[in-house]
Amino acid sequence: MIYADNAATTKMSEAAVNTMVSLIGDTYGNPSSLYAFGQKAKEALEKAREEVAEAIGANPREILFTSGGSEADNQALISAAKLGEKKGKKHIISTAFEHHAILHTLKKLEEEGFEVTLLPVHENGIVRPEEVEAAIKEDTALVTVMYANNEIGTIQPIREIGAICRKHGVLFHTDAVQAVGHIKVNVEEDNIDLLSASGHKFHGPKGTGFLYAKKGIKLTNLIEGGAQERGKRAGTENVPGIAAMATALKESVENLDAYAAKLTPIRDKIIAGLKEIPHSAINGDEESRVPSNINFCFEGIEGESLLLLLDDKGIAASSGSACTSGSLDPSHVLLAIGRVHDVAHGSLRLSLGEDITDEDADYIIKSVKDVVEYLRGFSPVWRDLVAGKGNFIL
């Protein structure tokens, strides 16, 4: 199998598995326990915190461990909203193509009386800093813009947006789930106040994540109870998982340059190959894009059937097709960059892993071409387009 769905989840690295298994065996104590065996677990926990902090240029005290990216996103937004509310600030700026962990939390906040502005992301899938600045109002409590989009891989001008937020004294959160471990992220240089990340997106375990909150930002609990995580996130700490996440993150960050050097040309080769398919189009900016992401729309076909046939050929990929989600609408991300429903249904995301080879790339290109051609072969939509009944969109 060529696993080309690393944006959905990744395989744990060997080093991360080793960290986890060894702690499960030797250091299973509760870090809140006083005896030496418990304190050993506490040490492992705090070492992980240091490693995670270092990987993003933060202070260990600024790292809160969560059960994943979604929890971190929820807690970041709820916390910022609470802080804003206290000062009478009830306006939040975000973008149209955030992850649902952001969008659905924003919706909840709207129901609680917050006003939310979703900025456009334009055809290239990139937010414009000047539009962020223009949207800031007297009562803006928070700007939240994802670091890299999970579907189309576009990297946002986080540093510039951060600088604008600093200038206006507005809190800035970024959902960096698709960025951390994949491209350089530094909370200090990038002017970030709050940042969410998820372990399983960078070869750490599922069910782990973290929230960075700059010193001085008071978090609100999502989970009440014990005094773990400075009282801001109750629940016995998943020390083996957290430490494994730290191991994976450290590895990934140390390896960033090699990762980019390896993946970028393969990504670009696949992009070039798929562009040869008539009436296809790449989704999202080609340059400002994580090294792993390829996303296309193919006119006249539907994404789920494309996926399933690629699966038969041993390629695991993803689609923004409505049919993959059980909803009627295709991906809100593709709609946000201006793809109309008709073609948004026919999308394909390939998110490469470090083990991809040049031969894999060739095989992927050929397979996608074959499957698209095959499906178009009995697509009434395609037939009509070719027959000149209706115009090609792509």
Ligand X SMILES: Cc1ncc(COP(=O)(O)O)c(C=O)c1O
Q: Which amino acid is at 284?
A: G
For ligand X, the binding residue among 198, 283, 295, 331 (CB under 6 A) is 198
CA 118 to mean position of chain CA atoms:
18
What is the C-alpha to C-alpha distance for residues 331 and 336, in angstroms, rounded to an integer? 9
**323 is an active site residue:** yes
Binding partner at 17 among ligand X, another protein, a second copy, none, C-beta below 5 to 8 Å by kind? a second copy
- In terms of C-beta density within 10 A (0-12 exposed, 13-18 middle, 19 or more buried), how is residue 96 classed? middle
Q: How many residues bind another protein (CB under 8 A)?
A: 31
Told to check if 15 binds a second copy by CB under 8 A, we report no
Nearer to ligand X, 70 or 293 (CB): 70
What is the C-alpha to C-alpha distance for residues 100 and 208, in angstroms, rounded to an integer? 18
Told to check if 68 binds ligand X by CB under 6 A, we report yes
Residues contacting residue 64 through CB under 8 Å, at least 6 positions apart:
72, 75, 210, 211, 212, 213, 219, 229, 230, 232, 233
Told to check if 95 binds ligand X by CB under 6 A, we report no
Told to check if 37 binds a second copy by CB under 8 A, we report yes
Give 387's Cβ-side CA count (13 Å radius): 9
What is the C-alpha to C-alpha distance for residues 100 and 354, in angstroms, rounded to an integer? 27
Told to check if 129 binds ligand X by CB under 6 A, we report no
Restricting to residues 354-393, which ones interact with another protein according to CB under 8 A? 378-383
Nearer to a second copy, 38 or 57 (CB): 38
Report CA dihedral (22, 23, 24, 29) to the nearest 10 degrees.
150
- Going by C-alpha positions, the residue among 57, 59, 84 that lies closest to residue 143 is 84
Q: Which stretch binds another protein (CB under 8 A): 11-19, 139-147, 165-173, 319-327?
A: 319-327
List the catalytic residue out of 17, 135, 323, 335: 323
Token digits of residue 204:
């750490």
Told to check if 300 binds another protein by CB under 8 A, we report yes
The DSSP symbol for 29 reads S
Positive or negative torsion for Cα 156, 158, 159, 165: positive
Nearer to ligand X, 178 or 319 (CB): 178
Told to check if 312 binds another protein by CB under 8 A, we report yes
Restricting to residues 209-248, which ones interact with ligand X according to CB under 6 A? 209, 235-236
Told to check if 379 binds a second copy by CB under 8 A, we report no
For a second copy, the binding residue among 46, 112, 188, 311 (CB under 8 A) is 311
Positive or negative torsion for Cα 7, 10, 13, 19: positive
For a second copy, the binding residue among 15, 22, 32, 273 (CB under 8 A) is 32
Place of tokens 């600045």: 133
**Could you tell me the end-to-end alpha-carbon distance of the chain, in angstroms, rounded to an integer?**
31
* Closest separation in Å from C-beta 110 to ligand X: 19
Q: Which stretch binds another protein (CB under 8 A): 3-11, 88-96, 132-140, 337-345?
A: 337-345
Nearer to a second copy, 154 or 238 (CB): 238
Told to check if 73 binds ligand X by CB under 6 A, we report yes
Q: Which stretch binds ligand X (CB under 6 A): 153-161, 170-178, 257-265, 383-391?
A: 170-178
| Strand-strand pairing, 347-351 and 293-298 | antiparallel
| Cβ–Cβ < 8 Å for 116, 137 | no
For another protein, the binding residue among 26, 43, 188, 370 (CB under 8 A) is 43
Question: Which residue numbers are catalytic?
Answer: 323
Residues that bind ligand X (CB under 6 A): 68-70, 73, 99, 101, 146, 150, 175, 177-178, 198, 200, 209, 235-236
Residues that bind another protein (CB under 8 A): 34, 36, 39, 42-43, 46, 300-305, 308-309, 312, 321-323, 326, 328, 330, 340-342, 345, 378-383
